[in-house]
């Protein structure tokens, strides 16, 4: 009777000593998140998030890895899980997050949701004509094609609607373009009710580019906090 209870407890204790020492739980979810960001969770094949997203979550416009600093905890966690499930297309991310536990995901999501960093530099300056078209679509939509204004769901000026609609203002252009294309051609399937798939498909190639360029030209929310 006793052994039945003590056994698993002992086992888990043992395991916890074998793996990297866990910092004390309550105040440490942040630290553990930062640890994963910096060095991965220690499992083989697990890469540090910062390799692509940077330690402060600014992302890398040159390779189209997204800015994640300040996205909500729920959103970041959700996206990681969707990649794990294979519903969100992410050939690179798939390998990286494969071995993250629920606890790991929670930690790293918390860490990046609190990260603050200025906008990363775009590789090229935006074209003013595309930005103008993108702005129009972003704020007015193209209702003839049943496309609502982007800001209708992504919040004022694309600054997000917590908890699950991400900010897209100040996101890098390559990433935004890739997502729209992935939605349009059905590689990315994690959007609720297929809303983004429908919208991205109805946008023309030029319109997708314009929208991506417009939002990338804006400043991200809370870029300068902390």
Partner 1 sequence: MRQKNEAARRIFRILLLLAAFGPAFITARAMAAESNVLFSPPPEESIPQGGFGDLIRHGEKIFTRTAKYAGRYTGNRLSCESCHLDRGRKAYSAPLWGAYVLYPRYRKKNHKVNSLAERIQGCFRFSMNGSATPVDGRTIKSLIAYSFWMSRGAPVGVNLKGSRMVSLPKPEKAPDPLRGKKVYVARCALCHGLGGQGRVSRGEIAFPPVWGPGSYNKGAGFYKVAKLAGFIKMNMPLSKGTTLPDQMAWDVAAYIDSQPRPDKPAPK
CB of 205 within 8 A of CB of 185?
A: no
Task: Indicate whether 224 belongs to the interface with partner 1 (CB under 8 A).
Answer: no
Q: In whole angstroms, what is the distance from residue 175 CA to residue 133 CA?
A: 19
Q: Which of 40, 66, 160, 166 binds partner 1 (CB under 8 A)?
A: 160
Which one, 195 or 205, has the nearer CB to partner 1? Answer: 195
Q: Which of residues 86-115 bind partner 1 (CB under 8 A)?
A: none
| Interface segment toward partner 1; rule CB under 8 A; list 51-59, 68-76, 107-115, 140-148 | 140-148
Q: Which structure tokens are listed for 45?
A: 């094949």
Q: Which of 148, 204, 206, 225 binds partner 1 (CB under 8 A)?
A: 148
| Interface segment toward partner 1; rule CB under 8 A; list 20-28, 61-69, 118-126, 151-159 | 151-159
Give me the residues paired with residue 65 across strands. Answer: 60
Task: Indicate whether 164 belongs to the interface with partner 1 (CB under 8 A).
Answer: yes
Which one, 119 or 154, has the nearer CB to partner 1? Answer: 154
Task: Indicate whether 159 belongs to the interface with partner 1 (CB under 8 A).
Answer: yes
Q: Which of 146, 204, 219, 224 binds partner 1 (CB under 8 A)?
A: 146
Task: Indicate whether 186 belongs to the interface with partner 1 (CB under 8 A).
Answer: no
Contacts of 223 (CB under 8 A, 6+ apart): 70, 116, 117, 118, 119, 170
Percent composition of the chain: helix, strand, coil (DSSP 3-state, to 5): 55, 5, 40
CB of 169 within 8 A of CB of 221?
A: yes
- CA-wise closest residue to 170 among 108, 222, 115, 106: 222
- CA-wise closest residue to 150 among 82, 94, 210: 210
CB of 39 to partner 1, least distance (A): 35
CB of 66 within 8 A of CB of 175?
A: yes
Q: Which of residues 192-221 bind partner 1 (CB under 8 A)?
A: 192-195, 198-199, 221
Q: In whole angstroms, what is the distance from residue 98 CA to residue 92 CA?
A: 10
Residues that bind partner 1 (CB under 8 A): 140-141, 143, 146-148, 152-153, 155-157, 159-162, 164-165, 192-195, 198-199, 221
């Amino acid at each position: 009777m006793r052994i039945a209870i003590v056994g698993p407890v002992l086992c888990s204790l043992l395991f916890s000593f074998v793996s990297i020492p866990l910092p004390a739980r309550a105040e440490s979810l942040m630290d553990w998140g930062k640890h994963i960001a910096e060095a991965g969770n220690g499992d083989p094949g697990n890469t540090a998030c910062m390799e692509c997203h940077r330690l402060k979550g600014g992302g890398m416009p040159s390779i189209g890895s997204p800015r994640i600093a300040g996205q909500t905890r729920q959103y970041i966690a959700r996206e990681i899980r969707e990649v794990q499930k294979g519903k969100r297309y992410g050939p690179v991310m798939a390998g990286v997050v494969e071995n993250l536990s629920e606890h790991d995901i929670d930690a790293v999501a918390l860490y990046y949701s609190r990260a603050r960093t200025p906008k990363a530099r775009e590789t090229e300056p935006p074209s003013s004509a595309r930005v103008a078209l993108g702005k129009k679509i972003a704020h007015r939509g193209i209702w003839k094609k049943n496309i609502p204004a982007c800001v209708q769901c992504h919040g004022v000026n694309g600054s997000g609607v917590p908890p699950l609609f991400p900010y897209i203002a100040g996101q890098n252009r390559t990433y935004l373009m890739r997502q729209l294309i992935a939605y349009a051609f059905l590689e990315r399937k994690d959007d609720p009710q297929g809303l983004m798939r429908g919208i991205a498909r109805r946008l023309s190639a030029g319109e997708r580019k314009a929208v991506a360029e417009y939002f990338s030209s804006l400043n991200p929310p809370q870029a300068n906090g902390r």
